[in-house]
Chain A
Amino acid sequence: MAGSDHLSELHVTGRDVPAFVGRPGPSAFHRLNPLTKATLATVTAVAAVVLGGLIGPAILVAVAVIGPAIAAGVLGRLVRTALLLSLPIAISAFLVNLFFLPGAETVLLRIGPITATAEGLAFALEILARIVAISGAVTLFYLTTRPSDLVVDLERRGVSPRVAFVASASVQTVPAMVERAGQITAAQRARGLDTEGSVWRRVRGILPIVGPVILGSIAEVEERTMALEARGFTRPGRRTLLWAPSDSTAQGLMRRGLLLGLLALIVLRITGVWP
């Protein structure tokens, strides 16, 4: 998009825009443009898949995840969150691949009809490395970027305000809907709904909650539509933005460099030049 003049004019949190709007983050990494951080996360994740093996993802994690996490001061949270995130899929992936790799021969362990194999173990570790890289990269992005930062930046670059609206509203609606489900659950429990117990009971218990949550949300659509249109939402074209995250030519170059590097990696991989 435009050169840095236009961008910095929008970024200056001057005397007028209150300081609490668009607060910059605590570390230099936080203050990087959201698109830069997103590019880093995506390139890391895709590269981990493309590279395969154990060493590639390990290096990626060290350089593109752990390093910046230390710089940003979020290493502890990153490790906890990424572990939490990847645990279910990691366990599944590990077990499935350990025991069920077809064509594997070197038996390590036998439990009843299923066997753990060395090849299975190797493959399972590879998949695990991939999963760690992906969740690490994505978690780093999530921990250092507010959703509104990303959406505003995209809108500043030309994304339609309508897309920006849906993205921002979705982020707010998820916790709001969970809260509403909680309220309905409490109300239903007061009326004798059984939410503990066997899995079958729980499945049956979900229905009287899901119904009102969905229908209640839909019933609000009419009111919300009117309220939005009453505030000029239907006006076509761009809208004024109060602020936007800063960007720099250096970051722009870095983003392009990362993407080109990824492209090169994919080409090399496909043509078999590099293992």
Chain B
Amino acid sequence: MSLELAGVGYRYAGAGQPSLLDIDLELPEATVVGLAGASESGKTTLCLVASGLAPRTVGGRIRGTIRLDGEDVDAWPMHRLAERIGIGFQNPATQLSQVADTVFEEVAFGPMNVGLPRDEVIQRTWDALDALRIADLAERDPRRLSGGQQQLVATAGLLAMRPTHLVLDEPTAQLDPAGTRLVADAIARLAAAGASILVAEQKTDLLAEVASRVVVLDAGRIVRDGPADEVLADPALPELGVAPPSAVRLRRAASAAGIDEAVLGTLDG
């Protein structure tokens, strides 16, 4: 169940220049792919295109092909794609449906929309809440939760659709450290359980933790695509506007200060 973008380009409505060019990206099963790049490099646009929101909801023009499990999804309406690819955004509060009084109903919103039988809706809702370990929040009012909790509720809402792929656009960008930790742990658990995730992040530490592969964008094009530890240790990252993960920076600072690699190796643990 892989998601493939081939030769994909995208231009926003009324924009002079395309925001994405020549994107060739494969997102196979059970892989967490990290997406890094300076702000305005096209990370969000790539997430929108991969999930189908661009051009369906957002307008604009696209070229190239997007295939889900080999099938071209160009003619699929948004609600059909929504069942296969879930996309989460930065702002936890604006992802709430605004019609649910409890977390349970909030998470059930998606399955209810697509008309699944009631038992199925309930089962999927509990499963999603359990997967993110927030079943104890089921009765709470989603508007009264912390940012991190709301982000988990939003993600549960996506999981309840049982998508084959999850696209997360900077899920921790608007969260405090506690919230970031909450969400990062959740993503790590999902990854360990075999989920297929594309996560865009400025916080490369997070990518180092959960991603097995990292893709770097620069001015709308892919400039790096490889195993996470290789790409994240690439010395060209800062020029591309990406701050390397702290482990990498620590190693570099240490070796610049003359501390032996072997010593550091024992600390890595």
Physical contact A–B (CB less than 8 Å): yes
For B196, what are the chain A residues with a Cβ–Cβ distance below 8 Å? Answer: none
For B104, what are the chain A residues with a Cβ–Cβ distance below 8 Å? Answer: 18, 20-21
Contact B86 A230 (CB under 8 A): yes
For A240, what are the chain B residues with a Cβ–Cβ distance below 8 Å? Answer: 111-112, 115-118, 121
For A237, what are the chain B residues with a Cβ–Cβ distance below 8 Å? Answer: 115
A164 to B233, CA, bound (A): 52
A17 to B105, CA, bound (A): 10
Contact of B99 among A165, A235, A238 (CB under 8 A): A165
Contact A232 B79 (CB under 8 A): yes
Contact A169 B99 (CB under 8 A): yes
Contact of B158 among A148, A169, A223, A231 (CB under 8 A): A231
Contact of A242 among B57, B58, B79, B118 (CB under 8 A): B118
Contact B139 A20 (CB under 8 A): yes
Q: A230-B87, A232-B161, A240-B121 are in contact. Are A173 and B78 (CB under 8 A)?
A: no
For A110, what are the chain B residues with a Cβ–Cβ distance below 8 Å? Answer: none
Nearest A residue to B117 via CB reads A240
Q: Is B89 an interface residue (CB 8 A)?
A: yes
Contact B94 A234 (CB under 8 A): no
Q: A148-B101, A172-B99 are in contact. Are A233 and B86 (CB under 8 A)?
A: no
A237 to B115, CA, bound (A): 9
| Nearest-Cβ distance from residue B113 to partner chain A, whole angstroms | 4
Instruction: Identify the interface centre among B56, B115, B117: most chain A CB within 10 Å of its CB.
Output: B115
Interface residues of A in 218-261 (CB under 8 A from B): 220, 223-235, 237-242
For B158, what are the chain A residues with a Cβ–Cβ distance below 8 Å? Answer: 230-231
Contact count band on A: 20 to 34
For B97, what are the chain A residues with a Cβ–Cβ distance below 8 Å? Answer: 169, 228, 231
Q: Is B31 an interface residue (CB 8 A)?
A: no
Q: Is A168 an interface residue (CB 8 A)?
A: yes
> Could you give, for residues 70-114 of chain B, a 1 whenever the CB lies within 8 Å of some chain A CB and a 0 otherwise?
000000011100110011010100110111011011001111111
Q: Is A176 an interface residue (CB 8 A)?
A: yes
For B95, what are the chain A residues with a Cβ–Cβ distance below 8 Å? Answer: 223-224, 227
Contact A239 B112 (CB under 8 A): yes
| Nearest-Cβ distance from residue A269 to partner chain B, whole angstroms | 41
Contact of A231 among B123, B139, B161 (CB under 8 A): B161
Q: Is B119 an interface residue (CB 8 A)?
A: yes
| Nearest-Cβ distance from residue A218 to partner chain B, whole angstroms | 12
Q: Is A5 an interface residue (CB 8 A)?
A: no
For A235, what are the chain B residues with a Cβ–Cβ distance below 8 Å? Answer: 79, 113-115
Q: A168-B99, A224-B94, A227-B94 are in contact. Are A233 and B112 (CB under 8 A)?
A: no
Q: A225-B57, A242-B121 are in contact. Are A234 and B102 (CB under 8 A)?
A: no
For A227, what are the chain B residues with a Cβ–Cβ distance below 8 Å? Answer: 89, 94-95, 154
Contact A229 B122 (CB under 8 A): no
Nearest B residue to A22 via CB reads B105
Q: Is A196 an interface residue (CB 8 A)?
A: no
In the assembled complex, 29 residue pairs joining A and B whose CB atoms fall closer than 8 Å, in A order, are A16-B123, A17-B118, A20-B139, A21-B105, A173-B98, A223-B91, A224-B98, A226-B48, A226-B53, A226-B57, A227-B89, A229-B53, A229-B78, A230-B53, A230-B82, A230-B86, A231-B82, A231-B110, A232-B161, A233-B79, A233-B113, A235-B114, A237-B115, A239-B112, A239-B113, A240-B116, A240-B117, A242-B105, A242-B121
Binding site for A on B (CB under 8 A): 48, 51, 53, 56-58, 77-79, 82-83, 86-87, 89, 91, 94-95, 97-99, 101-102, 104-105, 108-119, 121-123, 138-139, 143, 154, 157-158, 161
